[in-house]
Amino acid sequence: MDDLAPRTETRPMTQLPILEVQGVTKRFAFGAEQITALSDASLRIGKGEFICLIGPSGCGKSTLLRMVAGFETATAGSLLMWGKPIAGPGPDRGMVFQDYGLFPWLTVAQNVGFGPAARGRPKAEVAATAKRFVDMVGLTRFADAYPHQLSGGMQQRVAIARVLANDAEVVLMDEPFGALDAMTRERLQEELLEVWARAKLTVLFVTHAIEEAIFLSDRIVVMSPGPGRIVADEQVMLPRPRDPTSPEFNALRRRFAAMLGGHH
């Protein structure tokens, strides 16, 4: 599953998008009924973009993310990464879950080194990689701790480090900070932006919090339920770092709140 193709630094800007969603529809059987979770969604994502999918529950944002991850297949339409159809989960698209999904029997360092180890990298390399990314998320002192000994914020740092240590090009995040307290959430948002800028990641981030979306993203994709669909796709032009108390930020907040209508 190794991506041996050259990374985009060598690709001209007009080249392929890293991710492309073309007319994707997802229907679930719900008893005898068919539920349309997502209807005819299309999206082009460039390398290095930070994109938030925002919308109320039932708008299909998580379904779309899970299809990009390869956990679900589309009923119609196609999902492409570097122009190739997504056939299933793979290490090029790392997922960060709201409930962390860490392996409880492994230490922090072993969780972070899990991907490289599973793909048969030599032991010394796995250990070095694990150490580098454990250090990067500031958990050096907890390298030998088990997940149940950590706070939620620390566990989510491990989950992020685990995906980065595995060389994921795209990081998919499903309301990753939704279960954390406000202070921890803000700190992790800032840390995530730092890592994103440094590692030139592409991030697809699902949230239902408008402020979080404006604070983080280059682009906000607004979705709406019944059936789930994309209703707006807007660039966020505010300079970084962003100040959530600024008038410009507030103006955007009002704009997106209006777009999301009665749901917020």
Partner 1 sequence: MTAHGLSPRQVVLALAAPVLGVLAWHLATHGQAYSLIPPPWDVAVQWWDLAFGGVWDDLYSETLLTHTFASLSRVYGGFALAALVALPMGMLIGRVAAVRDLLDPSLQILRPIPVTAWLPLAMIVFGIGPRSAFFLVFLGAFYPILLNTIFGVKNVEGRLFEAAAMLGVSPQAVFWKVVLPASLPSIFTGLRLGLGFAWVVIVVGEMTGVQTGLGAIIMEARQLSRTEIVISGMVTIGVLGFLSDRIVQLLGRRLLRWSPQHG
Show contacts with partner 1 in window 136-175 (CB under 8 A). 146-148, 162-163, 166
Options 69, 130, 136, 216; binder of partner 1; rule CB under 8 A: 69
- Strand arrangement of the beta sheet that strand 93-96 belongs to: 93-96, 170-174, 202-207, 50-54, 219-224, 229-235
Residue closer to partner 1 by CB (options 63, 166) is 166
Site membership for partner 1, residue 102 (CB under 8 A): yes
Site membership for partner 1, residue 28 (CB under 8 A): no
Site membership for partner 1, residue 103 (CB under 8 A): yes
Q: Which helix (H) or strand (E) holds 198?
A: helix 182-199
Mutual angle of helices 152-165 and 123-136, in 10-degree steps: 130
Burial zone of 136 (CB within 10 Å; 0-12 exposed, 13-18 middle, 19+ buried): buried
Segment contacting partner 1 by CB under 8 A, of 37-45, 68-76, 128-136, 242-250: 68-76
Segment contacting partner 1 by CB under 8 A, of 45-53, 97-105, 127-135, 234-242: 97-105
User: What is the bridge-based pairing of β-strands 93-96 and 170-174?
Assistant: parallel
Site membership for partner 1, residue 60 (CB under 8 A): no
Q: What is the smallest separation between the CB atom of 153 and partner 1, expressed in angstroms?
A: 18
Q: What is the smallest separation between the CB atom of 237 and partner 1, expressed in angstroms?
A: 32
Site membership for partner 1, residue 88 (CB under 8 A): yes
> What is the rounded CA–CA span in Å between residue 12 and residue 47?
11
> What is the rounded CA–CA span in Å between residue 232 and residue 245?
24
* Per rule CB under 8 A, count of chain residues that contact partner 1: 30
Options 1, 13, 182, 183; binder of partner 1; rule CB under 8 A: 1
Q: Count CB neighbours of 23 within 10 A.
A: 12
User: What is Dmax (Cα atoms) for the chain?
Assistant: 54
Residues that bind partner 1 (CB under 8 A): 1, 69-71, 88-91, 93-95, 97, 99, 101-107, 114-115, 118-119, 146-148, 162-163, 166
